[in-house]
Structure 1
Amino acid sequence: MSRTPAFLAALASSAVPGLDPVSVRAARTEPGHRHEVAFVTDSQDRTWVVRAPLTAAAGAQMDTTVALLALIGRRLPFSVPAPRGFVAVPEGRAVVYPHLMGRPIDLGSVPAGPGLAAELGRAVAALHNIDRAVFDEAGLPAYEAEESRTRKLANLDRGAATGHVPPALLARWERVLEDVSIWRFAPTPIHGDLTGDQVLVVFEGEEDASTGVVRGITGWDDAKVADPAEDFAALISECSPEAFESVLEAYAQVRTERPDRHLLRRARLSAELRLLGGLLSAVGSGDRDLITARADDLHELDERTTDAAAESEESDAADAAEESDAADDGSGAGGSGVGDSQDPSEDTEGDHTQPLNASRSGGATRVISTEELEQLRATRLPAENAPSVQPPAPAQPPAPSADRGSTDVSTP
């Protein structure tokens, strides 16, 4: 069904007493969207959002989401959509609520440090700290750790059946999913689709992106009790490594429970599996062009990770050769393993969803005599190859968006 902007404005007027529409702007509806959305300005210069479901299933989901919003609005340090009226449509009910302050953000432009990056971390932590009984009361689904893992394995099987997923990707994903030690976590309330389009930010200084403050989060249709790592998928794949470190540091400080040690590994996997989800949605729509586009995304991911794996193997081989040469020179400390500083808890071997560290500190450890130590102290040699650290240039705040293409930016 395709409703005109004027029709959506009429729905808003019917849902909210006193709402007299003056202008309306409809968001673009793309394949896979579950709602039609329009922004209505009334005679009092107030802006409203009207959302009408496209299917009966979307209408039922909207009712559950509305129940959740009523429960969490007062429990979060930021705003969520607050419905003011409803009107019946064939697929269920259209909902109308005041437009939230702020604008969506480009996660790639978020600067590291205690500003916006830390704000994002605290916002996610506040959501994850909510008692899961609140989500249960709203009737949202809950998935324990093992169920989360098996659901992802089922999606892998569905993806393999399409014939569009590179075998190497499927094999790598399956290895991670079959390692049950990675899938031990405490399920928490999550947003389920946390992207920059859903996070609304205001900036105290228009020339300084670090002054951003999270004022609202929209798009709650996929909320549930599940793996907290899922809410980091977009953050870990789009933020710079430095900015994401700031996000995670602030998150850990606010969380009532310590994040588990495999959260980042599952977050990277979740980011990649979103591409698989896009393919499955495209296959369900029957849109051949969309299927081809999503399949191309997966092949591009496969090429990137294959190249990363090759670089990692070359680096490992070079390190092994250096250690062998050092041992031949008699500096290997008898193979005692003193120089092996790898933390076994990282468990990154064979996991190419992990970031690759280009500056590895390989080599064996040699015992320095007392005489050599005194000589080194006397000479006070400067450090070799010490990199100069330049402060990052402040990122520019993202420009306000009008229609954001295929993204449903105002979902409750």
Structure 2
Amino acid sequence: MVRRSPLTLAALATSAVPGLAVTSAAPLGGTGGDVDSALLTASDGRTLVIRVPRTPAAESEQSADLVAVRALSDGVRARLPFGVPRMVGQAPVDGTRAIVSEFVDGVPVRLGELTPGLAASIGRAIAAIHALPTNVVADVGLPQLRAIDVMREAVTTLDRAAATGLVPAGLLQRWELAADDAALWQFTPTVVNGALSASSFLSVGDSVTGLLGWARLHVGDPARDLFWLLGADDSEVPEVAFDAYHQARGVHDRDIARRATFAAELELARWLLHGADQRSTEIVDDAVGMLHALLDRVGGDLVNPLAGEATAPSGMAEVDELLERGVPRGPGSAA
């Protein structure tokens, strides 16, 4: 399919938003190859964004995102210290939909360039999401997971990965011990975004100004929104972010760092399963290489075990690599 030009997208936007007059249109970077997008300037001074999915997966993601964003009422948005794009119009096009939304100022964050100052702002931003009332999710029928549901999903992923015969025995033992540690799963579920990575955040300087991508909004494990920070190049970043998170929430989840580490490591198992599901030798080999690199790093780790006393968050280069490449999250997993 030929990519739609900014001018074509501008014309679609005028169909999606009655009375809209576009004075300029420019390409919008950072949206990936599955979406056609443009940054629009309207005659009334508004800056808008139009996005049109190019694949069924992107269309599904867009639809889920719209459901979640509609759940964020004005009252909910007032609780968040950052902007969330608001849809202003839509129009059918080639069997899918063009969505026009408000532009939120800021540049996408890069994991490898995270500073401690911005990490603190991110920690506070995530804490604000987790402090939202759970009825925000319940009222629109989005998933509500209990702690035991999160544990069972982790065990299912572990078992499926083990069945491939490709996960090193040392990692399987490490993960099984964590799954069996009852203390690890004693947490209060919160509203979580569910799909955060560095590029989810928009920033100006050291302040988070916006957050994109709400398709996996649900009630679940707060560690799910924090694990990606473990891939930062600067080891101070996750510590600062976690500290800022705890201070902002006023609730100390003593095992959240361990659950975040577990979630980060299971992302490699999910990448392996994704490769197996897609029958991709390339992805499977890539995942196996990452799993062995992880084993080399954590093998015999008595300082930062997954099962045992709570520890400070530590870096994880393998997840850094996955997130920087923008690989898919766990197929079909909300938690």
Could you say which TM-score interval applies, normalised by the shorter chain? Answer: 0.7 to 0.9
What does 1:353-392 correspond to in 2, within 5 Å? 355=314
Q: What does residue 12 of structure 1 align with?
A: 13
Q: What does residue 38 of structure 1 align with?
A: 37
Deviations 1:167-186, CA, capped at 9 Å, x for gaps: 32222112101112210100
Among 63, 67, 71, the alignment partner of 1:68 is 71
Deviations 1:261-289, CA, capped at 9 Å, x for gaps: 11110011111112222233333334332
Q: What does residue 320 of structure 2 align with?
A: none
Q: Report if aligned partners of 2:272, 2:284 keep a CA contact under 8 Å in 1.
A: yes
TM-score normalised to structure 1 length: 0.66
Kindly report structure 1 stretches of 4+ aligned residues shifted beyond 6 Å.
Answer: none
Aligned residue pairs, count? 308
For the pair 1:101 / 2:102, whether they are aligned, the reply is no
Unaligned 5+ segments in structure 2 are 316-323, 329-335
Q: Report if aligned partners of 1:9, 1:24 keep a CA contact under 8 Å in 2.
A: no
Aligned CA distance change for structure 1 residues 87 and 160 (closer, same or farther; 3 Å): farther
Deviations 1:79-109, CA, capped at 9 Å, x for gaps: 0111111123566533221332111223444
Among 281, 285, 289, the alignment partner of 2:282 is 289
Deviations 1:196-239, CA, capped at 9 Å, x for gaps: 11111102xxxxxxxx1110111111221100111110113326
Q: What does residue 238 of structure 2 align with?
A: 244
Q: Which amino acid aligns with 1:76?
A: L
Aligned CA distance change for structure 1 residues 14 and 278 (closer, same or farther; 3 Å): farther
Aligned CA distance change for structure 1 residues 110 and 19 (closer, same or farther; 3 Å): same
Q: Which amino acid aligns with 1:287?
A: S
Q: What does residue 331 of structure 2 align with?
A: none
SS at match of 1:84: strand
SS at match of 1:175: helix
Alpha-carbon separation, structure 1, partners of 2:62 and 2:104: 22
Alpha-carbon separation, structure 1, partners of 2:211 and 2:256: 22
For the pair 1:347 / 2:290, whether they are aligned, the reply is no
Aligned CA distance change for structure 1 residues 92 and 122 (closer, same or farther; 3 Å): same
RMSD: 3.2
Q: Report if aligned partners of 2:42, 2:48 keep a CA contact under 8 Å in 1.
A: no
Aligned CA distance change for structure 1 residues 103 and 27 (closer, same or farther; 3 Å): closer
Unaligned 5+ segments in structure 1 are 204-211, 314-345, 357-403
Aligned CA distance change for structure 1 residues 59 and 116 (closer, same or farther; 3 Å): closer
Identity %: 31
Alpha-carbon separation, structure 2, partners of 1:354 and 1:48: 37
Aligned CA distance change for structure 1 residues 96 and 282 (closer, same or farther; 3 Å): farther
Q: What does residue 317 of structure 1 align with?
A: none
For the pair 1:48 / 2:52, whether they are aligned, the reply is no
Alpha-carbon separation, structure 1, partners of 2:102 and 2:192: 23
Q: What does residue 219 of structure 1 align with?
A: 213
Q: Which amino acid aligns with 2:255?
A: H
Q: Report if aligned partners of 1:9, 1:38 keep a CA contact under 8 Å in 2.
A: no
What does 1:19-30 correspond to in 2, within 5 Å? 19-20=21-22, 22-25=25-28, 29=32
SS at match of 1:279: helix
SS at match of 1:294: helix
Alpha-carbon separation, structure 2, partners of 1:140 and 1:176: 28
SS at match of 2:122: helix
For the pair 1:234 / 2:233, whether they are aligned, the reply is no
TM-score normalised to structure 2 length: 0.79
Deviations 1:235-269, CA, capped at 9 Å, x for gaps: 1332634333322222222215x122111100111
For the pair 1:82 / 2:86, whether they are aligned, the reply is yes
Among 232, 250, 264, the alignment partner of 1:271 is 264
Among 145, 158, 164, the alignment partner of 1:143 is 145
Q: Report if aligned partners of 1:59, 1:91 keep a CA contact under 8 Å in 2.
A: no
For the pair 1:305 / 2:307, whether they are aligned, the reply is no
